Amino acid sequence: MSFVNCEVKDKIAVITINRPEALNALNSQVLDDLGAAFDSIDVNAVRAVVLTGAGDKSFVAGADIGEMSTLSKAEGEAFGKKGNDVFRKIEEFPIPVIAAVNGFALGGGCEISMSCDIRICSENAMFGQPEVGLGITPGFGGTQRLARLIGAGMAKQLIYTARNIKADEAYRIGLVNAVYPQEELLAAAEKMASQIAANAPIAVRACKKAINDGLQTDIDAALVIEEKLFGSCFESEDQREGMANFLRKKDDPNKVKVVNFQNK
Ligand code: CO8
């Protein structure tokens, strides 16, 4: 039995962490199942992924505290690496991943949302890094990604105080892009995924790589990364068709306005 469901429809995959009895907390098996779910996606057929949690209360309430409670130093490090490897897989997944945060996103839950490209959440969502209250540091990338996303000062405040924040504050500090009523969240995430899926997939993937790789380096090297990926788009049929469509539209506004990009 898997703790993670993956459903593919119309070029969109919806991955649901399904352990609602523990508020979708991440134990070793959930992490393994998550990795396997991402591995199972055909990134040439699917163009965007939505990641969410089962139920209407929790996205992910953190790493499994029961499982962590007896770890030794070496086991703690190994558990941290296990989570980091899966989260890095998500971060570097070739196609965009949208986190639809449908409730608690605490500790490892906040951290997994930050390994996604985009976060949107429900009005009842709650974010936080409560680890220091448990005697540990964030261990699935929280100290690194939170500081990169919302700035070091705000990240340090949230991590040192272990204070949880509600959706409106998460929106105000830029941790999430938008807040929706719970019942509208998944549809909003799927709509965004469809908008992404309608664009040229090779170009979208190149944008993700350019942003991610560029953020790891200085601006001069980053611009070279962009130039190379930009150049590579000119080997694609989708570039030729996308631009030809624009020029056709200019000649005759009644000509086809939507390109059916072929991922070639
Ligand atoms: N781990 C294991 N079980 C959990 C977790 C969790 N993180 N969160 C909730 N559960 C379980 C509860 O134990 C409970 O199970 P049971 O019914 O068997 O008693 C069930 O889920 C429902 O939870 P509650 O009854 O507590 O529900 P409430 O609505 O009363 O409270 C809260 C909801 C506020 C979310 C509360 O459950 C809570 O505080 N949970 C823990 C949140 C937390 O501290 N998360 C951070 C964990 S640390 C972490 O994520 C570190 C990541 C890096 C690890 C690196 C490893 C080295």
pLDDT tens, residue by residue, 113-168: 999 999 999 999 999 999 999 999 999 999 999 999 999 999 999 999 999 999 99
Report the chain's terminal Cα–Cα distance, integer Å: 37
pLDDT tens, residue by residue, 190-249: 999 999 999 999 999 999 999 999 999 999 999 999 999 999 999 999 999 999 998 887
Q: What is the set of active-site residues? A: 111, 131
35 or 262, greater pLDDT: 35
CB of 103 closer than 6 angstroms to any ligand 1 atom = no
* Predicted confidence (pLDDT) at residue 251 exceeds the cutoff of 80: no
Residue located nearest, by CA, to atom 21 of ligand 1: 22
CB of 96 closer than 6 angstroms to any ligand 1 atom = no
Most informative mutation of 23, 60, 67 for ligand 1 (most atoms within 8 A of CB)? 23
* Predicted confidence (pLDDT) at residue 252 exceeds the cutoff of 90: no
CB of 22 closer than 6 angstroms to any ligand 1 atom = yes
Cα 175 from chain centre: 12
DSSP-assigned states of every residue in 139-207:
-SSHHHHHHHHH-HHHHHHHHHHT--EEHHHHHHTTS-SEEE-HHHHHHHHHHHHHHHHTS-HHHHHHH
> How much is the pLDDT for 44?
94
Identify the CA nearest to 192 among candidates 244, 116, 126: 116
CB of 229 closer than 6 angstroms to any ligand 1 atom = no
| Residue 39 confidence class, pLDDT cut points 50, 70, 90 | very high
| Residue 256 confidence class, pLDDT cut points 50, 70, 90 | low
pLDDT tens, residue by residue, 76-98: 999 999 999 999 999 999 999 99
Most informative mutation of 65, 69, 124, 144 for ligand 1 (most atoms within 8 A of CB)? 65
| CA quadruple 19, 23, 26, 30: dihedral, nearest 10 | 10
> How much is the pLDDT for 51?
98
Nearest atom (ligand 1) to Cα of 107: 50
> How much is the pLDDT for 258?
81
Residue located nearest, by CA, to atom 14 of ligand 1: 22
CB of 150 closer than 6 angstroms to any ligand 1 atom = no
Q: How far is the CA of 62 from the centre of ligand 1 (A)?
A: 6
* Predicted confidence (pLDDT) at residue 255 exceeds the cutoff of 80: no
> How much is the pLDDT for 134?
97
Give me the phi and psi of 132, to 5 degrees please. -65, -20
Q: How far is the CA of 104 from the centre of ligand 1 (A)?
A: 9
Query: What is the rounded distance in angstroms from the CA atom of residue 183 to the CA atom of residue 250?
Result: 41
pTM score over 0.75: yes
CB of 53 closer than 6 angstroms to any ligand 1 atom = no
CB of 133 closer than 6 angstroms to any ligand 1 atom = no
Cα-based distances in Å from 152 to 48, 146, 160: 30, 8, 12
* Predicted confidence (pLDDT) at residue 257 exceeds the cutoff of 90: no
Domains of the chain (ranges plus CATH)? 4-197 (3.90.226.10), 201-255 (1.10.12.10)
Q: Chain-wide mean pLDDT for the chain?
A: 96
Q: How far is the CA of 117 from the centre of ligand 1 (A)?
A: 25
